[in-house]
Structure 1
Amino acid sequence: MIVVATADFELYHEAVGELRSRGVTFTTVEPGDPLPDQTRVLITAPSDDVETDPTVSRVTATGDDVRRAVDEALATLRGGGGQTVVGVDPGTRPGIAVLSGQTVVAAFHVPLADAVEVIKRETDDAIDPVVRIGDGARLQGAKLINDLDGVAVELVDETGTTPYLGTGARGMGDVLAAVNIAQMSGKRIESREIEPTAGELQRIKERSREVSDDSRTIDEDLARRVAGGELSIDEALDEHRTREE
Structure 2
Amino acid sequence: MIVVATSDFEVYHGVVNELRDRGVTFTTIEVDDELPDSTTVVVTSEDDADAFEDDPVTTIVAEPDAARRAAEQALSALRGEGGRTIVGVDPGRRPGIVVCSGEMVVAGFQVPLGDAIDVIEREVADATDPVVRIGDGSRLESAKLVNELEDVRVELVDETGTTPYLGTGARGMGDVLAAVNIARLEGEVVENRDIEPTAGELQVIKDRSRERSETNRAIDEELARRVAAGELTVEEALAEHRNGSDGESDGHGSRSS
TM range (shorter): over 0.9
154-163 or 80-89, which moves further after superposition? 80-89
* CA deviations over 1:12-49 (Å, ceiling 9, x no partner): 11111111121111111111211111111100111114
Q: Deviations over 1:81-118 (max 9, x none)?
A: 43111110000000001111111111111100010111
Q: Secondary structure at the match of 2:47?
A: coil
Map of 1:156 onto structure 2: 157
Residue number in structure 2 paired with 1:115: 116
> Which residue number in structure 1 is paired with residue 2 of structure 2?
2
Deviations 1:182-218 (A, max 9, x none): 0001000000111100000011001111111110110
Mean alpha-carbon deviation: is it higher for 127-136 or for 47-56?
47-56
CA distance in 2 between partners of 1:224 and 1:51 (Å): 58
Q: Distance in 2 between matches of 1:87 and 1:15?
A: 25
Letter aligned with residue 177 of structure 1: A
**Contact 1:85/1:129, CA 8 A, preserved across alignment:** yes
Quote how far apart the aligned CAs of 1:175 are: 0.5
User: Which moves more between the two structures, 46-55 or 188-197?
Assistant: 46-55
Task: Give the corresponding residue for 1:205.
Answer: 206
Question: 1:1-245 residue pairs with structure 2 within 5 A?
Answer: 1-48=1-48, 49-51=50-52, 53=54, 55-245=56-246
Please say if residues 46 and 60 of structure 1, whose CA atoms lie closer than 8 Å, have aligned partners that are also in contact.
yes
Aligned-pair RMSD on alpha carbons?
A: 1.0
What residue identity is the alignment partner of 2:16?
A: V
Q: How many residues align?
A: 245
Partner Cα separation in structure 1 for residue 216 and residue 138 of structure 2: 26
- Report the AA paired with residue 33 of structure 2: D
Assess, with a 3 A threshold, how the Cα gap between structure 1 residues 40 and 130 changes in structure 2: closer, same or farther.
Answer: same
The answer to whether the Cα contact below 8 Å between 2:2 and 2:40 also exists between their aligned partners in 1 is yes
Q: Name the SS of the counterpart of 2:66 in structure 1.
A: helix
Q: Distance in 2 between matches of 1:134 and 1:222?
A: 26
Asked if the contact 2:95–2:110 (Cα under 8 Å) also holds between the matched residues in 1, the reply is: yes
- TM, length-normalised to structure 2: 0.93
Q: Deviations over 1:114-138 (max 9, x none)?
A: 1011101111111100000000000
Q: Distance in 1 between matches of 2:2 and 2:58?
A: 10
Q: Contact 1:93–1:112 at 8 Å: present in 2 too? A: yes
Report SS of the residue matched to 1:63: coil
Q: How high is the TM-score relative to the length of structure 1?
A: 0.97
2:251 match = none
SS at match of 1:64: coil
1:52 deviates by 5.0
Higher Cα Rg, which structure: 2
Conserved? CA contact 1:32–1:51, under 8 Å = no
The CA distance in 1 between the partners of 2:19 and 2:204, in whole Å, is 45
Unaligned residue ranges in structure 2 (runs of 5+)? 247-257
